[in-house]
Structure 1
Amino acid sequence: MSTRPAKESERNQEATVYIGNIDENADDELICELMIQAGPLVSVHLPKDRVNQIHQGFGFAEYLNERDAEYAALIMNGVRLYGKALRVNKALLDKQKAIDVGADLYIGNLDSMVDERVLADTFSAFGNFVSQPKVARDADTGAPKGYGFVSFDSFEASDRALESMNGQYLMNKPLVINYAYKRDGKGERHGDEAERLLAAQAQKNNYKLPSQFSQQQQQQQQQQQQQLQQPPLQQLQPPPVQPPFSIPQGQIPQQYPPQHPIPQFGNMKLVRGPNGMIQSTTPLATAAAVAAAGAPPVFPVVPPPFISRATNFDHR
């Protein structure tokens, strides 16, 4: 895996993902450690400023195949790095999805502190980019010239950005925004009726632009989150434990062992004590009568005789 800057023509676009909203504290090695969790990498490239050699807040990760790139876009989008949520999506899905509809804006009166990262963070709220925002720079010194370009994937997004940001202050300077001039040199600007008609026809013919892919990607992420939030399968729960035996209701005796009737003899009153023993309430009950009743005899308790302390037991 390499971190050298790969040329656009050398990179496999179908196996490459775009990584946006990268914090300034992150470097190439950290992005490599993060993105390699989705699959083997071929290269990672974070474009850097020519003057201060600080990355511009976005980069590209090329995988061995398209499947790993799609998986990386699915699981890495929204991951927070230094408190900032990364924006990860496929750089180019196929040749049809790379169509530039012409929604290109000219951003003028830029402050010298505004770079590509600031432009991307400012205008990403209005829609998806076809290519990364660019700041025009001097070829020799690399100093910014005070203007740049932002290319959206739809005229709806570029119209929203134009209406919302034209005249707004960025780094204490009001922005001057208009549709950029076409490259044919005829002095015509993008956003005319012909381009809008071609863009509408392309969407009608089911050309999947990056914005449509972004919606599909969000739906897949929502489905994945719903699957993770589903309760565990019922078959994984242990069955209830049944007792080894059960006694039917009403068959349990109130007293165990069962109590037999106490026989009575003449004037002698026999009762069952709290400990289950049969005893007589008649003080003079004889042992023979109690034994005849089938219970051990119970004799009345006789208190010990009172012995005075003055009694002399010395028989000397």
Structure 2
Amino acid sequence: MAERHTLYFGNLEDRVDESLLYELGIQAGPVVSVYMPKDRVSLLHQGYGFVEYPSAKDADYAATLLANIKLYNKPVNVRRAGSDKPTSEVGAKVFVGNLDILVTEKVLTQTFSSFGPLVSTRIARTSEGQPKGYGFVIFEDFEAADAAIKGMDGQYLMNKPCTVGYARKENSAGFHGDEVERRLAREAKRHGVKFGLK
């Protein structure tokens, strides 16, 4: 298999077989082959498998689309074969800056949940647990994130006006909320696949 075109699927439930993995993989694009290594004695698969796509572009798209998928209610670890990290960190992730030290995750949740469903909130802290003055809110969709940015940027949270905008992507010069991410989110929704960050 061409490693650069292949996705690793880990944490697979025992009932998953190659035909089911193929059905999952083809939801994101054309599949060249599927391989699930089996134990030589028991002949059972070992909890992981590989799906090969025709091009690196197809594999990248599939990795993004299937990032938070579950099979038999068990989250599947999807990433490019040979890489230790998922290929893409995508989603409606919002940066909230200039935060008062009294602002907690609970305050962020209460404040931002009025704009739409949240995935998570987090205050950045030092190794000693002290707040760094900024945090992140991840929404389930870009519409809620857009509304939060429009409604909260410059508004007072506790005693300080906060700055709100899309967060910078890790290992990239770009920001979340770009057209590529929005297109991927629309495709995921069309295929009934959960999309975005945890």
Whether 1:134 and 2:131 are equivalent positions in the alignment is no
Q: How many residues align?
A: 114
8 Å Cα contact 2:95/2:135 also seen in 1: yes
**Cα distance, 1:148 vs. partner?**
0.2
What SS does the corresponding residue of 2:186 show, helix, strand or coil? helix
Cα offset, 1:168, TM superposition = 0.5
Gaps in structure 2 of 5+ consecutive residues:
1-69, 77-87
Secondary structure of 1:156's aligned partner: helix
Q: What does 1:236-315 correspond to in 2, within 5 Å?
A: none
Secondary structure, aligned partner of 1:201: helix
Deviations 1:34-88 (A, max 9, x none): xxxxxxxxxxxxxxxxxxxxxxxxxxxxxxxxxxxxxxxxxxxxxxxxxxxxxxx
In 2, distance between residues paired with 1:94 and 1:129? 21
CA distance in 1, matches of 2:146, 2:162: 15
The secondary structure found in structure 2 opposite 1:113 is coil
- Describe the SS at the equivalent of 2:175: coil
Which structure has more relative contact order (CA 8 Å, sep 6+)? It is 2
Matching residue of 1:165: 152
Is 1:175 equivalent to 2:162 in the alignment? yes
For residues 103 and 205 of structure 1, what CA distance do their matches in structure 2 show? 19
How does the TM-score come out when normalised to structure 1?
0.34
For the aligned residue pairs, the C-alpha RMSD in angstroms reads 2.3
Q: d(CA) in 1 for partners of 2:195 and 2:130? A: 34
Deviation at 1:183, TM superposition (A): 1.1
Distance 2:74 2:111 in 1: 27
TM-score w.r.t. the length of structure 2 is: 0.53
Which structure has the highest strand share of the two? 2
Answer whether contact 2:91 2:195 (CA < 8 A) is retained: no
Determine the structure 2 residue equivalent to 1:146. 133
* CA positional deviation for 1:208: 5.1
Instruction: State the 1:207 CA deviation.
Output: 2.1
The amino acid across from 2:143 in the alignment is E
Change (3 A) 1:163 1:128: same
Q: Structure 1, unaligned stretches of length 5 or more?
A: 1-91, 211-316
Moved over 3 A (4+): 92-96
The structure with the largest alpha-carbon Rg is 1
Tell me, what secondary structure is at the counterpart of 1:123? helix
